[in-house]
Amino acid sequence: MRVASMLSFVSVLSLSVGLAGDAGAAPKATSSSRSLDLYFGDLHAHTGFSDGWGGTPGDAYAQAREAGADFMGTSDHNFMLTQDEWTQTLDMAGAGTDARFAALPGSEYWLASGFGEVIVYNVSELRNDANFHDPDLNPLSRHEVIPAFYDWLAAHPGAIGLWPHPGLYGDLDEFEHRTDSRDAAMSMIEIHNYGSFVGAPASWGLHDYEPAYQMALEKGWHVLPAATSDTHDTDWIIGSPVRTVLLAPSPDPADLYEAMRLRRGYGTLDSNLRIRYSLNGEVMGAILPAPATSYQAVIEIEDPDGTPEDVVTRVEIVSDHGEVVASIDTDDTVVEWTATLESATARYFYVRVHTASNLTDAGGVTAWTAPVWTGR
Among the residue ranges 19-33, 93-107, 202-216, the one predicted with the least confidence is: 19-33
The pLDDT value given to residue 24: 42
Q: How wide is the angle at C-alpha 62 spanned by C-alphas 56 and 66, nearest 5°?
A: 145
More confident call, 374 vs 19: 374
Of 355, 376, 351, the closest CA to residue 365 belongs to 355
- φ/ψ of 187, rounded to 5, equals -110, -5
Of 352, 332, 342, 326, the closest CA to residue 374 belongs to 342
Percent of the chain with pLDDT over 70: 81
More confident call, 129 vs 276: 276
CB neighbours (10 Å) of residue 173? 16
CB neighbours (10 Å) of residue 74? 33
Assess whether pLDDT exceeds 90 at residue 139. no
Residue 339 in contact with residue 3, Cβ under 8 Å? Answer: yes
Of 191, 110, 242, 111, the closest CA to residue 370 belongs to 191
Q: What is the distance between the alpha carbons of residues 253 and 104, in angstroms, rounded to a whole number?
A: 7
Assess whether pLDDT exceeds 90 at residue 31. no
Radius of gyration from C-alpha coordinates of the chain: 20
Q: What is the distance between the alpha carbons of residues 75 and 52, in angstroms, rounded to a whole number?
A: 10
Assess whether pLDDT exceeds 90 at residue 20. no
Percent of the chain with pLDDT over 90: 70
More confident call, 6 vs 204: 204
Of 95, 97, 49, the closest CA to residue 75 belongs to 49
Torsion angle, alpha carbons of 288, 37, 301, 165, to 10: -80
Determine the 3-state secondary structure of 348 from DSSP.
strand
CB neighbours (10 Å) of residue 115? 19
CB neighbours (10 Å) of residue 260? 26
Model confidence pLDDT, tens digit, residues 293-303: 999 999 999 99
Model confidence pLDDT, tens digit, residues 248-275: 999 999 999 999 999 999 999 999 999 9
Residues 133-141, mean pLDDT to the nearest whole number: 56
Among the residue ranges 68-72, 102-106, 117-121, 306-310, the one predicted with the least confidence is: 306-310
Q: What is the distance between the alpha carbons of residues 53 and 246, in angstroms, rounded to a whole number?
A: 28
Q: How wide is the angle at C-alpha 337 spanned by C-alphas 332 and 341, nearest 5°?
A: 145
- Of the pLDDT bands very low, low, confident and very high (cuts 50, 70, 90), residue 373 is very high
The one-letter code for the residue type at 112 is A
Considering only the top CATH level, what class is 37-263?
alpha beta
What is the fold, at CATH topology level, of the domain defined by 1-34+273-376? Immunoglobulin-like (2.60.40)
Exposure string of 116-141, with b = 16+ CB inside 10 Å and e = fewer, is: bbbbbbbbeebebeebbbeeeeeebe
More confident call, 63 vs 358: 63
Determine the 3-state secondary structure of 19 from DSSP.
coil
Determine the 3-state secondary structure of 214 from DSSP.
helix
Q: Could you tell me the pTM of the whole model?
A: 0.89
**Number of alpha helices (DSSP H) and beta strands (DSSP E) in the chain:** 6, 22
Residues 222-244, mean pLDDT to the nearest whole number: 95
290 burial (CB, 10 Å; 0-12 / 13-18 / 19+) is exposed
- Of the pLDDT bands very low, low, confident and very high (cuts 50, 70, 90), residue 142 is low
Assess whether pLDDT exceeds 60 at residue 361. no
Q: Give ranges for CATH 3.20.20.140 in the chain.
A: 37-263
The alpha carbon dihedral of 76, 81, 86, 89 has a sign of negative
Model confidence pLDDT, tens digit, residues 82-136: 889 999 999 999 999 999 999 999 999 888 666 889 999 999 988 655 445 555 5
Assess whether pLDDT exceeds 80 at residue 312. yes
Q: Give ranges for CATH 2.60.40 in the chain.
A: 1-34+273-376
Of 48, 46, 14, 2, the closest CA to residue 230 belongs to 46
